[in-house]
Structure 1
């Protein structure tokens, strides 16, 4: 994460942070949070901007406050594969690594709570609760990766697309999107283009478009435009996902 890739930082106000009780800093006491606030800076990154490239020096980490980040790996021939998506309140960066292991790009406008590597790693040593929370996040990411292996290896095209939409719908609140009062419904904006969605799911663009159209015809989703999705019945979407 390099300084020239973001707008000038603003001092963080932890008390007003929307992910205060969800991010790794939820493990901190008020005094510990005050120490954390001294090293944290808020950064705003526009959609499409690169945050870090594979091999960049790991000089900073961040909590995601709003927006979506896509993680990619580049093959020797220049092709890229989306290997992950990060949402609020996920943690961006690889602790104790010298270099970034992936490319990170803002899929939407993103707000980060960023902190320098040296200061953050010192806090990890000082506050065991923070280290434990980070370890738990790592295990959660491992579980999610295993679930994604199941999707890529065993699910049909329809199930893959439905699973992707279900995942976005479940995290719509953290994305700053609106939920319908009935918690079995959701409304959100897709953070990826259909081309990127196809890349992420290991499908062709035509297949993704066809499956989205089929889900719409079956009344499982509604489209207000190409990227605005309404889910009238989350249970029906979950069933379509093969969950």
Structure 2
């Protein structure tokens, strides 16, 4: 006859087995298909001025290269070609993106301006994660007529203080809950006195996914734990039936 203590030991073993299943189950990227986005410039409204939507803009799917020769809009001005490119491969679960411009001027008014050269942002994603980089070959920020040289090929998330005006981040990078990597070569965040705007140069996003045809493991605690408990319960029930026999 099976005793209460025996049943408790079986249930404890089932819980342990469930924990083991949960800790060892593999997981794929959270996206169901690869995706990517790229654009060279964008800006929120600056003290009531018209916002600048992302341009030129390329997204995957479908992917491809979008170019714009010269640009004078909002705070941006350049005679160079702006290029945004995205691509992907569902069979491999990969994606890529790039955003480039050789020269770009940015004017926020008489107080603050910037000049950038060699802007180049890239990212590549696989089912296992994404990597990227957003750099400039050179640049300056001028505040009240005083120029400050910006670091070329800056490390990830290099901050530059703009006293009384806001903040500048070089090679800004972050990854969301779906494993999508976002890279901005240059990101200005201005104080409310200057419109509180976000001004972005060289933006790319990449996210990988399980290769097409792959049956992904459920990447949620509910799914994994539910399957693990079911398996453990079956084992425990079989054990109790043997004891009774």
TM bucket normalised to smaller: under 0.3
Larger radius of gyration: 2
Q: Tell me: higher relative CO, structure 1 or 2? Use CA pairs within 8 A at least 6 residues apart.
A: 2
Higher normalized helix content (fraction of residues): 1
TM-score, normalised via structure 1 length: 0.24
TM-score if structure 2 supplies the norm length? 0.24
